Amino acid sequence: MKTDTDVKEMVRNHYSEIALQDKETNASSCCGSGCCSIETENIMADDYSQLEGYNPDADLGLGCGLPTEFAKIKKGDVVIDLGSGAGNDAFIARHETGETGKVIGIDFTPAMIERARANAKAKGFNNVEFRQGDIERIPVSANVADVIVSNCVLNLVPNKDAVIKEIYRVLKPGGHFSISDIVLEGNLPEGIKAAAEMYSGCVSGAIQKNVYLELIRTNGFKNILIQKDKPIHLPDDILTQYLSKEDLEKFRQSGTGIKSITVYAEKTATENKPCCGTDCCK
């Protein structure tokens, strides 16, 4: 059985390779002899090109939603992007927060950080910063962010509860997040769970939808809202790499669902208790 450290190293190596490629190379990668499907990461990606602030050089087609579209970012906000990759969501967030705001991208992979910084430098963005770090221990002080976004990243982290706790710590009181991620409704076959390629493609690291939402609730968030719920269909030419024909047929008939959801939630605002004279309220 792989340890958390093994999983993280596998993910880091996989995305280090992707960081050195362009979107077209990623999208045209074939997953078997004679197949025409794109890689798992790109099957899940949504089209960013119509959003203000979009930078094609930063779009590697690795997301599974459009969290920045739903994130309610205001001018002057401090925004943190968890798993920022080449900077795609960070640059769109930067457009929304404007010159008076700030965007901090956090990524686990040095090659991605290097590429994102190069993209920011090319655009002359002085209020976008990229930091290398593990989002189980976000390298940001407490109560800093107005908004946190993330796109198809929590699946790659073994300890999702730790990440959600960190999101709560880093958000300002009354702050909120909008996160796109992959969840399950039903159980995946063992062949998919065991496949490293599928894990790096955000599938086998997914947890049940109800468990995912419960983690958010139990960590103190309120006003939880599913902003988008999109079914993901993995083509047979991908799944037959991991499943026999019989197992594939059982999977198709099982009702197991792979979903991309975008979830919004708010951190509770600190209550301002009035003072009670010389004996102040405690």
For residue 274, the model assigns a pLDDT of 41
Alpha carbon distance 232, 251 (integer Å): 14
Q: What is the pTM of this model?
A: 0.82
For residue 40, the model assigns a pLDDT of 54
Report the interhelical angle of 88-97 vs 110-123 (nearest 10°).
40
Q: What is the mean pLDDT of the chain?
A: 84
Token pair listed for 121: 């430098």
How much of the chain, in percent, has pLDDT values that exceed 90?
54
For residue 273, the model assigns a pLDDT of 44
- Backbone angles phi and psi of 72, in degrees to 5: 55, 45
pLDDT, one tens digit per residue, over 182-191 is 999 998 888 8
163-190 as b/e, with b when 16 or more CB fall inside 10 Å? bbbbbbbbbbeebbbbbbbbbbeeebbe
Q: What DSSP designation does 105 have?
A: E
Tally Cβ neighbours within 10 Å of residue 135: 26
For residue 28, the model assigns a pLDDT of 42
For residue 185, the model assigns a pLDDT of 92
Residue 129 CA, chain-centre distance (Å), reads: 18
Token pair listed for 142: 């407490």
Tally Cβ neighbours within 10 Å of residue 159: 14
Is the Cβ–Cβ distance between 82 and 38 less than 8 Å? no
Nearest Cα to 73, choosing from 42, 103, 34?
103
- Backbone angles phi and psi of 149, in degrees to 5: -125, 160
For residue 106, the model assigns a pLDDT of 98
For residue 225, the model assigns a pLDDT of 98
What's the start-to-end Cα distance of the chain, in Å?
50
Delineate the domains of the chain, giving CATH numbers in brackets.
4-266 (3.40.50.150)
> Tokens 């959003």 — which residue?
51
Which of helix, strand or coil describes residue 251?
Answer: helix
Which comes out higher in pLDDT, residue 14 or 24? Answer: 14
Is the Cβ–Cβ distance between 129 and 103 less than 8 Å? yes
Binned at pLDDT 50, 70 and 90, residue 41 comes out as: low
For residue 31, the model assigns a pLDDT of 31
Residue 20 has pLDDT above 70, yes or no: no
Is the Cβ–Cβ distance between 41 and 202 less than 8 Å? yes
pLDDT, one tens digit per residue, over 64-97 is 899 999 999 999 999 999 999 999 999 999 999 9
Binned at pLDDT 50, 70 and 90, residue 59 comes out as: confident
Nearest Cα to 261, choosing from 95, 150, 159?
150
Which comes out higher in pLDDT, residue 142 or 49? Answer: 142
> Tokens 């599974």 — which residue?
64
Furthest CA-CA distance within the chain: 80
pLDDT, one tens digit per residue, over 191-236 is 887 776 666 667 878 899 999 999 999 999 999 999 999 988 888 8
